[in-house]
């Protein structure tokens, strides 16, 4: 049984592995399966992958350790934990403002995450419908979408976007499931969900990757992902890689601090943080090895962008044996990954509402989930009824972004990096050194390296993302 935990945690994780699974569930999500292949594809493959891996282990991993440590030491929500650690260290409680920003970031990410996850539910139904019609046609294991042209298949995405009712319905379903799980608590909700969904996710991931290896262009995919072309190592690509590392590890968005507050005092944090970082990176790379063989096999463009998974892959399923089944399993897999992430996106703000306003868990989950649903509603309408709305029209890099992309942009490019900057400065310069040493349990040499990273390397690197992310004009053109 875990030690004492924050109020929202009631009794904490039932075991170390329950925590590890939930944290991996938070990390592995749309970021791994949708965003990572998209960015790798757009940024030339191998070169991006190398920078990404460097960012994960050099900056991301120490930050994961820091956030979990803050949670366990502070035993409260993201803001409360930072305040508690600040108090123990004899410095200003104002550092908790970064925790507040993490909570707000989680809330905003949840709102659009639920909309995108809703697309995956829609596509599960699309593939199911296709399975039914292939049975009727007497070829249940044939290719998907028989008799449809490529334009008809890719056009399905546009049809979905033009159908606000369907978008809202799927968004509502996804948010309702998320709220239901979180309302059931850390033990009976989050832990159980991760314990069921993550193993199923891994089985599907391996199965589809093997399928792609046999039927797809596996060698081409491997060389695309692992042969770096260093001329493609532009500052923009590096900037994207660091931002993606933060997003994918769920840094800067309350989850790891909150989950850390439910961790027992006997758990060694450094090996745990290492496992989370390895699992997340492993899944991102496996996802690349799952998706690109299929993309290359039918000669699709790896740089298709955000539509790669939802628009390009169905075209591939239409040309591969058993395509409807693989397609359905593929979207179920994304749905599972998204759900374990949305749970922790909701848990961060919910823990804060419980601690701060003393609400019951059920009420807090309904309140936060309901509010995030409203913001998500605007995102969904941004594809149709509100398609002319540009919320950040006044801000150069976001001027053309619709509602969903604006919220994605402002969280990913501004809020997560700022929170990461705050956490690294706080741990690197202000937090009590003995507390850090005791909580991390690092040996002298590693501890020195960790301090160097938190005090200098991470803040500088993250500062670079914020500056170049917001003012791409400052970058040398390439």
Residue 205 binds ligand TRP, judged by CB under 6 A: no
Instruction: Indicate the residue among 255 and 289 with the shorter CB distance to ligand TRP.
Output: 255
Residue 345 binds ligand TRP, judged by CB under 6 A: yes
Binding mask 55-94 for ligand TRP (x = CB under 6 A): ----------------------------------------
Distances (CA, A) of 254 to 9, 70, 100, 108, 435: 14, 11, 8, 12, 21
Sign of CA dihedral 163, 169, 170, 174: positive
Residue 346 binds ligand TRP, judged by CB under 6 A: no
Q: Which residue has the tokens 């803001």?
A: 79
Instruction: Indicate the residue among 38 and 248 with the shorter CB distance to ligand TRP.
Output: 248
As a whole number of Å, the CA-based R_g of the chain is 22
CA 71 to chain centre: 20
Least gap, CB of 393 to ligand TRP (angstroms): 26
Applying CB under 6 A, which part among 3-11, 87-95, 137-145, 247-255 lies near ligand TRP?
Answer: 247-255
Task: For residues 246 and 240, give the distance between their C-alpha atoms in angstroms, rounded to a whole number.
Answer: 10
Residue 190 binds ligand TRP, judged by CB under 6 A: no
Least gap, CB of 252 to ligand TRP (angstroms): 7
HSE-up of residue 328 (Cα within 13 Å, Cβ side): 15
Binding mask 255-284 for ligand TRP (x = CB under 6 A): x-----------------------------
CA 340 to chain centre: 10
Applying CB under 6 A, which part among 21-29, 387-395, 419-427, 428-436 lies near ligand TRP?
Answer: 21-29
Task: For residues 233 and 360, give the distance between their C-alpha atoms in angstroms, rounded to a whole number.
Answer: 50
Least gap, CB of 340 to ligand TRP (angstroms): 8
Q: Please calculate the CA angle 223-39-457 and round it to the nearest 5 degrees.
A: 100
Applying CB under 6 A, which part among 9-17, 66-74, 191-199, 244-252 lies near ligand TRP?
Answer: 244-252
Task: For residues 359 and 365, give the distance between their C-alpha atoms in angstroms, rounded to a whole number.
Answer: 9
Applying CB under 6 A, which part among 25-33, 149-157, 375-383, 394-402 lies near ligand TRP?
Answer: 25-33
Q: Which residue has the tokens 């397609």?
A: 327
Least gap, CB of 415 to ligand TRP (angstroms): 10
Residue count at the site for ligand TRP (CB under 6 A)?
16
Of 250, 272, 324, 406, the one binding ligand TRP (CB under 6 A) is 250
Helices (H), 56-191: 61-74, 78-89, 96-136, 150-161, 164-183, 185
Helices (H), 311-415: 313-317, 323-357, 361-381, 403-409
Binding mask 106-145 for ligand TRP (x = CB under 6 A): x--x------------------------------------
Of 2, 26, 63, 86, the one binding ligand TRP (CB under 6 A) is 26
Burial class of 51 by CB neighbour count within 10 A (0 to 12, 13 to 18, 19+)? buried
HSE-up of residue 211 (Cα within 13 Å, Cβ side): 22
Residue 30 binds ligand TRP, judged by CB under 6 A: yes
Residue 248 binds ligand TRP, judged by CB under 6 A: yes
Task: For residues 230 and 24, give the distance between their C-alpha atoms in angstroms, rounded to a whole number.
Answer: 31
Of 143, 178, 215, 341, the one binding ligand TRP (CB under 6 A) is 341
Q: Which residues bind ligand TRP (CB under 6 A)?
A: 26-27, 29-32, 106, 109, 247-248, 250, 253, 255, 341, 344-345
């Amino acid at each position: 049984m875990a030690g004492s935990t924050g109020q929202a945690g009631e009794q904490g994780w039932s075991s170390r592995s329950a925590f590890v699974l939930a944290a991996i569930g938070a990390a592995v999500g749309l970021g791994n399966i949708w965003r990572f292949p998209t960015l790798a594809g757009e940024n030339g493959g191998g070169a991006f992958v190398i920078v990404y891996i460097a960012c994960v282990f050099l900056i991301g991993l120490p930050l994961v350790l820091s956030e979990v440590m803050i949670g366990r030491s502070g035993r409260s929500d993201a803001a409360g934990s930072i305040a508690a650690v600040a108090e123990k260290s004899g410095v200003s409680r104002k550092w908790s403002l970064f925790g507040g920003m993490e909570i707000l970031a989680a809330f905003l990410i949840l709102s659009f995450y639920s909309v995108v996850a809703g697309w995956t539910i829609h596509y599960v139904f699309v593939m199911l419908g296709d399975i039914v019609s292939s049975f009727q046609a007497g070829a249940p294991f044939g290719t998907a979408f028989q008799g449809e042209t490529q334009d008809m298949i890719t056009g399905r995405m546009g049809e979905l976007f033009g159908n606000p009712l369907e978008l809202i319905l799927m968004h509502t379903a996804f948010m309702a499931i998320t709220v239901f799980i979180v309302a059931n608590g850390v033990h009976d909700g989050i832990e159980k969900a991760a314990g069921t969904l993550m193993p199923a996710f891994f089985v599907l991931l391996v199965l589809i990757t093997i399928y792609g290896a046999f039927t797809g262009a596996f060698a081409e995919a491997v060389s695309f992902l692992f042969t770096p072309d260093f001329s493609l190592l532009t500052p923009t690509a590096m900037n994207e890689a660091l931002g993606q590392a933060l997003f994918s590890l769920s840094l800067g968005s309350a989850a790891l601090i909150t989950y850390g507050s439910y961790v027992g005092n006997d758990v060694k944090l450094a090996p745990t943080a290492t496992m989370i970082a390895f699992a997340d990176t492993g899944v991102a790379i496996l996802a690349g090895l799952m998706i690109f063989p299929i993309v290359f096999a039918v000669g699709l463009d790896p740089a298709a962008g955000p539509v790669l998974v939802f628009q390009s892959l169905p075209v591939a399923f239409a040309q591969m044996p058993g395509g409807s089944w693989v397609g359905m399993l593929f979207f179920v897999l994304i749905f599972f990954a998204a759900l374990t992430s949305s749970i922790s996106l909701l848990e961060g703000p919910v823990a804060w509402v419980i601690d701060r306003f003393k609400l019951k868990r059920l009420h807090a989950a309904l309140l936060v989930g309901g509010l995030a649903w409203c913001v998500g509603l605007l995102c969904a309408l941004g594809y149709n009824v509100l398609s002319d709305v540009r919320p950040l029209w006044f801000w150069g890099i976001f001027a053309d972004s619709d509602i969903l992309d604006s919220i994605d942009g402002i969280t990913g490019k501004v809020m997560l990096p700022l929170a990461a900057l705050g956490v690294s400065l706080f741990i690197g310069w202000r937090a009590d050194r003995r507390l850090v040493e005791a909580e991390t349990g690092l040996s002298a040499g590693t501890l020195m390296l960790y301090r160097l990273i938190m005090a200098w390397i991470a803040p500088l690197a993250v500062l670079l993302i914020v500056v170049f992310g917001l003012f791409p004009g400052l970058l040398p053109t390439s």
